[in-house]
Structure formats: C-alpha cells, structure tokens
Amino acid sequence: DAGVIQSPRHEVTEMGQEVTLRCKPISGHDYLFWYRQTMMRGLELLIYFNNNVPIDDSGMPEDRFSAKMPNASFSTLKIQPSEPRDSAVYFCASSPRAPRPQYFGPGTRLTVT
C-alpha cells in the first residue's frame, strides 16, 4: 500500500486566495483525520470523518475552513479566503477504526503571504 497520499506537498499562496488540500487515505480505512501543526499550537485536530461522514468538526478554526469527503478514497480541506495565520503544515491521517493507530500522510506545508 502506498500509504496516505497528500497533495500538494508545498503550497505558497497570497492572502485572500482559495487553497485546496487533498488527501487519499489508505484503502479500507474507515476513519480520516485532518490535523494542523504549528510551532505555537502544536498538532491540532481540525475534523474527522467516519465512513465519509463528518463526525467532529469542533477543531475547525472558523468558517473559512471547510472539509469534504465525497467518497472513501478522497478528501479535501479548503480554506477560503486564506490568511497568513493559516500558514502551517496540514496532515491527513487515516485509521481502520478508532481508536486504533493512525497513519499519517507526509503533510502539506502551506505558506500564505
């Protein structure tokens, strides 16, 4: 298995632009998690899905953030409009069931100027 796949690996955008991050979980995993990692706040859970359904989005910082999972093999995290404080590394992780070990993707490093 290729593991969790994220794209792009790096994204540099200007403030106000829309940003879309993509994730392909490991096949057969029922859970998908989106995290954000910064030096100041550490690793924060933004939202997670079970069987494509959003279960807990309490970590989504504000309405500018949205996440979808249209099918079992694809999820997106969208920021519109982006702001410099959104600069971080965004990780996607999947798990066969919870609370089992989570498998992380390589992350997307987002820089908003």
Partner 1 sequence: SQQGEEDPQALSIQEGENATMNCSYKTSINNLQWYRQNSGRGLVHLILIRSNEREKHSGRLRVTLDTSKKSSSLLITASRAADTASYFCATNSGSRLTFGEGTQLTVNP
Q: Rule CB under 8 A: which residues touch partner 1?
A: 4, 31, 33, 42-43, 45, 48, 50, 55-56, 91, 93, 98-107
The C-alpha atoms of residue 28 and residue 4 are separated, in whole angstroms, by 12
The C-alpha atoms of residue 81 and residue 64 are separated, in whole angstroms, by 6
Q: Minimum Å distance from CB 65 to partner 1? A: 17
Q: Minimum Å distance from CB 16 to partner 1? A: 28
Record the tokens describing residue 98, joined without a space. 């919870």
The C-alpha atoms of residue 75 and residue 70 are separated, in whole angstroms, by 7
- Is the separation of the CB atoms in 26 and 103 below 8 Å? yes
Nearer to partner 1, 74 or 104 (CB): 104
Nearer to partner 1, 28 or 99 (CB): 99
Q: Minimum Å distance from CB 54 to partner 1? A: 12
